[in-house]
Amino acid sequence: MTLSSRWSQLPSIPDREGFAGSFAGVSGGALLVAGGANFPDRRPWEGGTKIWYDSVFVLEKPDGAWRLAGKLPRPLGYGVSVTTKDGVICVGGSSAQGHHADVFLLSWRDGKLAAVPLPSLPRPCANFSGALVGNTLYVAGGIATPDATAALRTFWSLDITNTKPGWRELEPWPGRERMLATAGACDGSFFLFSGAALRAGADGKPVREWLRDAYRYTPGQGWRRIADLPRVSVAAPSPAPVVNGTPLVLGGDTGAQVNTPPTAHKGFPRDVLAYDAKDDAWRVAGEVPFSLVTTTAIEWNGHVVVPGGEARPGVRSPEVWTFQATRSH
């Protein structure tokens, strides 16, 4: 299968730098992009300070203009966000103060933004991934603290139709702990693609171990390992968009430039990896016209939208890309 896609740009997010790690989704028919972080003054290798944001922007129609809808309960980014019929559920994440366990429902109704608390995670978590399968929200992996030298191997679920019992801890996937994996939901199953494990380096700081393995979780049947990705993909837009029943991994970081000086970084890979569940096989299905990681992929008006993200280490982008993909043979 090859995938022919017509990519176009929506209006850019109204920030000069743009953000990585934003929450995003659809509520009241409008696109919401909330929070995230950037380096507004100087790049990190120049001694710049990372700043988190609480701003929530709304785009009510594709040919409209972004406007400020309101604010999050706190500056926050690098959590999980999924769209539900009631709004956008935002899970965990980080701020300048550390990692958080908060969960809330962000909604846009009649020109007003609301944030309603939901049951907190069992522990603070950021840089993890999640997806909605039916009425169950699943989240997997991540890290518990900003300086963690080991990722989490945790798998939690929340019934969004009855949130009062809170999160359930489920059996994790039969593989390494990981962060910045890509989650997906397709055919009643939850998918976990690639990501990175962590270990302590010689200086005690975290070092990434790049992973290519992938797993499928089906409620009532549990986990099974599926075909490895053709290459590593860390921090690709998540949840993975599903086109014609096929989950797509859009780019992601392979780790090939991990030792490249930031000013010489060439951007992240642009090839699209498509997973065929019937054949348990991966294929390359075209390319994306952008280099963006640590961002989301949202379905809006029959299109997939990728709002902003990290274009190169320490460099964000306010660009918003959208496509409607069709299958061709």
73-117 tens-digit pLDDT: 999 999 999 999 999 999 999 999 999 999 999 999 999 999 999
Report residue 5's pLDDT band, with 50, 70 and 90 as the boundaries. Answer: low
SS3 274: strand
Q: What is the average pLDDT across 253-261? A: 93
Mean per-residue pLDDT of the chain: 95
Res. 1: pLDDT tops 70: no
Q: Is the entire prediction scored with pTM above 0.85?
A: yes
- Asked if residues 314 and 43 have their Cβ atoms less than 8 Å apart, the reply is yes
Report residue 125's pLDDT band, with 50, 70 and 90 as the boundaries. Answer: very high
Structure token digits, residue 8: 């176009």
Give the pLDDT confidence score for residue 324 in this predicted structure. Answer: 86
Give the pLDDT confidence score for residue 328 in this predicted structure. Answer: 43
Architecture of domain 2-328: 6 Propeller (2.120)
SS3 29: coil
Taking only the tens place, the pLDDT of each residue in 270-299 is: 999 999 999 999 999 999 999 999 999 999
Percentage above 70 pLDDT, the chain: 97
SS3 45: helix
CA distances from 204 to 12, 196, 200, 201, 312 (A): 39, 17, 5, 5, 25
CA distances from 261 to 8, 95, 116, 264, 313 (A): 31, 26, 43, 5, 10
For the chain, what are the domain ranges? Answer: 2-328
* DSSP letter (8 states) at residue 20: B
Give the pLDDT confidence score for residue 77 in this predicted structure. Answer: 98
Exposure of 117 by Cβ count < 10 A (0-12 exposed, 13-18 middle, 19+ buried)? exposed
